[in-house]
Each structure stands twice: as C-alpha cells, then as structure tokens.
Structure 1
C-alpha cells in the first residue's frame, strides 16, 4: 500500500482524517437537508467542496459519491508518487466499492419527473446514477486502462473492493490498482429506510453520544459519507521505483452468512469464516494479530455478534477499535476508510480511540481502546467489514 486518499467527515485529506480519528472527536451533527425527519443526524464530509477541488465544470456532471471518489483517488495517486502520464496505463486497475452509488442524483431527478414532468429530467441522470461510474469516472480521470469494476456488498463493499484488488495483483493481471470505496447517500429516502428499519441512533439531542460502538447504551449508527482510495502495487513494482510503503496487504477473506437480510448471525459464524480465511491467506495465526479495526457500527445486534466472534477467534485479546465513533457509518465506503486507518495505525504505531464509548457492554470481554488513543507496537491489523445480506469481508495488513 503506497498511497492513501481520504475524504471523510473527519477531514478532507488523509492527514486531517487521521488526526481527528486519533483525537477521538465525533463528527455527528443535525443535518439541514433532513429537517423534519424523525432522525436528522448525519456525519457529512462538510469540509469537502466538489466545485473547489474538482472544478465546477467537472463537478456538476458527477454525483457527489463520484466527486468524493475522484478527490480521494487524486490524493492517493499523488501520495504514492505516481504520475499517470508515466505509468503503463494498461496495467493499472480500478476497483471501488459502493452500496448506493449515485442515489442522490436518482432521487433528485425522480422528484423533477414527479413534480415538473419528463422534460425537466437531466440528460445526465443515467451516467450520474449508475453504480459502476464511481470506478469508471476515476479510471477516466487518472487514465487507468486496466480492469475497472465496482463491488457492491452493502457495508462490506469497500473491503471487498480492496480484497478484489489484492487478487488482481496476485494474479499478475495488474501492477497497480486504485482500490477503495465511496458513498454519499444522505438523502431522505435512504435515511427514512434505515430509520424505519430501526438501524439509526435516536440520540439526536446529544450528537457526541449518538455513535458509541460497543457501549452498553448503544442504540444504532449515525449515517455518514466518505471516500477512501488506496494505491496498491505488487511488491516488486513498488520496490523498483523506491516507493514509500505504508503497509502490506497480506490477507483477504470473504463469506456469506446465508441467513437474514439485515440481522447478522448472532454468533458471528459467517464473520469468523471470513476472518479465518484472511488469516490463512496471510499465513498468520490469531496470536499474530496485534490490533483489530472492528466493523463496530454501534448497533445492538452487530456489535454483540462481532464481539462474540472476536472473543472466540482471538483468546489472547488484541486491542480493538471502531473509528465509527468519529466518522459515523459511511456504508459502502466504511471498509475502505477503515483499511486506510489500519494502514496509518501501522505507519504511526498508534491505536485510535473508540470515540463515544463510555461504558463497555458488560457482556463483551474485549480490550477496546477507550478514553485516549494508545501508542505501542503494532505488527498486524485485522480490518473487518460486514453488510446487509450477510456479506462479510476481512483484510489483514502487516507492518512494512
């Protein structure tokens, strides 16, 4: 992993995001765009201005989900010290994950159709809304002519994209892959759906306490938006150009619960299968993992299931963090954001605090990083992501 680009509620760059995550400062706030809805608390990437970053002429043609991806992709490529005009573009792939894609455009244009008639619908509606365009536009923007695809495994999408990139590199099909995820679905229809499903926190009067992973009083997640793009290279390719390496992507595992549409397996059996698959892929034992960057959504069922799985697989008790106490839950981008944070944890030898956690659920026998971030030896990090439909993905990153 040689380049990192991050646009999140915690900051409009990788450096800004890392700093706020380490400080444990929440980003949840009332959202004017959702005024009057039962839950109107979100984590927006408020510091990101698509017109300013991409130029107005480019930004107006893109859904915000794609704008975020392009900005993160540009930062990642620059951070890696790569120049698109110099690389073999046929050997550069693009794999991004998203759950909803251009849903904001779709909702806006549907309202135009309903209220003002078909003549008022934008001719760009389809290319702005198509899920694949989040990767397609980044490939066009950076001139990457290798495989370009989108993975959509709900809230595991970003992690699945990184795992897919891992496989492309191992197969020899690419030298470089731009991998990650992007999501911007803070629109009434999506928020209303999650609200009716009982997934969102109702702690709207105290935003600092709304997203509280593994807390005894957690009651749901705070929906967010974000994009994370990582530059992944074959080791020999990175070495040949003397690239700085943040971390090695050493293992990937995936599975399906094959159970319920929205509820995770109570014991986390599907998640365990993905985690053990990643360990096997990396050639590591559970005792080798020094840190777990958990999915940790702050929902009652997910956190309980994930905690049982971690306790079962890792009896030695690695330190556990969920960054969603700061960033909220960015759905299809979450796994990529957290993989980037995992890489930065290895780079800086620091374990981020789990913001919002004040009293650990007494049923959880976990060493959750609470109060303040920790400095210490970090050699191997497991980053876990799970999604509706029983989708599970696990990534293992090791120290460079």
Structure 2
C-alpha cells in the first residue's frame, strides 16, 4: 500500500458545535452536549437523552426546505472545502465524493407518511427524490457544479468510516485526484424507534461508555475530510483502512473481540506499524454492555497499557452514519493537541484497575499514531483507520 493519502481539509457539525473550532473547544472543555428530550409518536412517548444540534443551520435559500440531514452535510462539506482551499477552477481534477449515511433523506418520506395519515394526500413532487439515500450527494455536487464520481454507503454505524476507506483506495489506485469523504445523520423517529425496540437506549441518563452498559444516547451531526495524494497534509495522513465481518450475530459483536482484533492486525500488516506503536484509540464506546465489554476484551488482549482509549460518544451521542467521520476528526484533534479527549462517563465498577481507558479528564500524551474503530449491525461490519499527523496549530 502506498502511504500518500493526505488530509487537506476538515469540516464538522455536531452537538458540540458548528465548525471545527467550536467543536474542538467544547470537546476538550468536556462540555456535555447530551440533553434530555421527550419524543412522541401517536400514543408512544420516549424520554431519551440525545445529542442535538440546536443552532440555526444557515444554508442557501434554495435549501431551506431540505431535511436537517442535508443541512448538516452541506455545512460540514462547505467547511471542508474551504479549509482545503479547494480549487473549483481546475476542471482537470478527477473528483470522487464518498458519503456514508444511515438515513440519507428518509425523514422526508417519514414526514410525508405522517401527512398522508393525517389526510393530506398532496405530496410534494420532489419528495421521492429527497427521500433517497443519494439525494444529499446529488445536491452537494450540483451546488458547486462539480464533475465527480460519487458513492453513497449505508452500512449503519460504520458508514462514514467505510466512505473514507473507499476514498483512500480510489486515490491509491489512481482512480481520482481528490476524494471528499464523510458522513451525516440526523435524529429521527426511525432511529429512535429502532434502537428503542431493541432496548438499547439509556433512558435514565446520558450514555456512559465503558461503564454501566445501560445503553446508548443517539446524536446527530456531519463531517467531511478532503483527501489528496500530493498536497501538503495540513491535517494528517491516512495510513490504512480495513473492513471485515464477524458473521456472528445481526446486532451483537462476538464477545471475545476477535473481529475487531483482526481489523487491527490487518492494519498493522498494511502499514508495517506494530500495534504497540499505536498511541491512541478512539473506540466505538456506545455505552451498551455488548459493545463495551467486547472492546475491553479486545484491548486487553492486543494492546499494551501505554495505548490510551476513549469514546467521545459521551459528549456527542451516537451519530450513526456520521459517527466514524466525527470520531476520526476527533483523532485529528487529539494529535494536534497532543491530548486524549476523555470519555465522559462514570467510574468503572467492572474493572477498576484498568489503565488504558481515559475517563472524565483529558490526558496529555504524545500521539503519533491513532486508530479509530467503528462497529455496526449486519453481522457486525467492522471498519477502522490508522493515521499519522504532524501539523502546526496554525492550521486550526
């Protein structure tokens, strides 16, 4: 594998902030962006703790009636292009756009269904287009008049990690010159109902990754990174990516963590970097017992105590298709700051002697290599990245 894929631009919108600066400040400030909200659907009521983007999402007038998911993606996409100083005049560039999302525009269809059930049978003509998975990518390309190949990946919670892996491979195979990769998802009845039916939502408090295992807190957001082969790596470098499946259970990972460990060893083989050289892991860390105990087992068996682990879902919530890209951006920020952002959680009662997991207080550490894990439903698809970064703070 040729290790020449540089990160030249970054953009993010999350419950921690609009844009990279606000997100970074609140991430390391240990701001709790998860709040209690009540959701109703007919006679059903759900009290849940969620990471909501509450700020106004200022998009061009033509997009005012688009889904929130589109608006999140639009703002993150714009910031990523701006920070990369993207040259729209270079028509010879071969551009690939790789978008990961769980929902796409499905909330448009959801709202149309509710209207239909209320007796409003006049659906807007564009609804069927807006509800598609690819609509967001279509509009991002059209807005800038780009000539681009594009790919939309919907592998649940690993979607945006898979998008970055695909963009990396396209660059390495000389299929494009620039890959704009990321993901987006908004809070919706669809996601809330699905996870609630599984009993996977923590209804007592915000999620507590690597602690009590009482469930997740959903969130929303979007992120994009711009990847190029030969431009200066303002924000870091992608060294490798790998995808596999446990083929164990439709929603639960194999408790021993074998699938996740295989990903790590695949990356080590790709890059020639031993696992004991990895300084920081941003784990999936959902707050569910099945996920967190599996990650603990995998970390304990395969990484030294010097490798530090945290989950940032305790601040942003689980953003589904956007989780991987938001957390890889958190890895970039950890390297830039030379600090591990702490897991906002409870002290562990299950394993009080653990030293790998950083909780409730940021940890100063030299970070040369960082690894991001994302796990997903569907026989447990697993995706991850390995990065290296050397960049001055002036880029942020």
State the TM-score, normalized to the length of structure 1: 0.91
Question: Distance between the aligned counterparts of 1:152 and 1:173, measured in 2?
Answer: 22
Does structure 2 retain, via aligned residues, the 8 Å contact 1:97–1:158?
yes
Asked whether the equivalents of residues 100 and 183 of structure 2 are also in contact (C-alpha less than 8 Å), the reply is yes
Provide the rounded CA distance (Å) in 1 between the counterparts of 2:75 and 2:257: 35
What's the offset of the Cα at 1:371?
A: 2.6
Q: Which of 377, 387, 398 pairs up with 2:366?
A: 377
Residue 347 of structure 1 and its aligned partner are, at CA, apart by 1.7
Q: Which residue is 1:198 aligned to? A: 199
For 1:1-400, what aligned pairs fall within 5 Å after superposition? 1-31=7-37, 33-34=39-40, 37-47=45-55, 49-50=56-57, 53-60=58-65, 62-84=66-88, 86-88=89-91, 90-118=93-121, 120-184=122-186, 186-204=187-205, 210-215=206-211, 217-234=212-229, 236=230, 238-239=231-232, 245-359=234-348, 361-362=350-351, 365-389=354-378, 390-400=380-390
Deviation string, structure 1 residues 113-172 (Cα, Å, up to 9, x no partner): 222243x21212112111112222222233332320111111001111011111011011
Q: Secondary structure at the match of 1:116?
A: coil
Q: CA deviation at 1:83?
A: 3.2
From the superposition, tell whether residues 276 and 300 of structure 1 become closer, same or farther in structure 2 (CA, over 3 Å). same
Which residue in 1 is equivalent to 2:394?
A: none
Report the alpha carbon displacement of residue 265 of structure 1 after superposing the two structures with TM.
1.1
Structure 1 residue 335 displacement after superposition: 0.3
3-state DSSP class of the match of 1:248? Answer: strand
Local SS of the residue matching 1:224: coil
**Deviations, residues 282-331 of structure 1 (Å, cap 9, x unaligned):** 22110110000111011111011111112222134401010001000000
For residues 324 and 25 of structure 2, the distance between their equivalents in structure 1, rounded to whole angstroms, comes to 19
Q: Is the 8 A contact 1:325 1:355 kept in 2?
A: yes
In the alignment, the residues of structure 1 paired with residue 382 and residue 325 of structure 2 have an alpha-carbon distance, to the nearest angstrom, of: 14
Whole-angstrom CA distance in 2 between matches of 1:144 and 1:171: 21
- TM-aligned CA deviation for residue 388 of structure 1: 0.6
CA distance in 1, matches of 2:258, 2:352: 18
* Contact preservation (8 Å) 2:216, 2:287: yes
Whether the 8 Å CA contact 1:251–1:282 is kept in 2: the answer is yes
SS at match of 2:196: helix
Tell me the C-alpha RMSD between the 2 structures.
Answer: 1.8
Specify the SS of the correspondent of 2:136: helix
Q: Is the 8 A contact 1:134 1:150 kept in 2?
A: no
Distance (Å, rounded) in 2 between the aligned partners of 1:164 and 1:363: 39
1:373-397 CA distances to partner (integer Å, 9 max, x unpaired)?
1222100000000001111001001
Paired with 1:81 and 1:293, the residues of 2 have a C-alpha distance of 28
Q: TM-score, normalised by structure 2?
A: 0.92
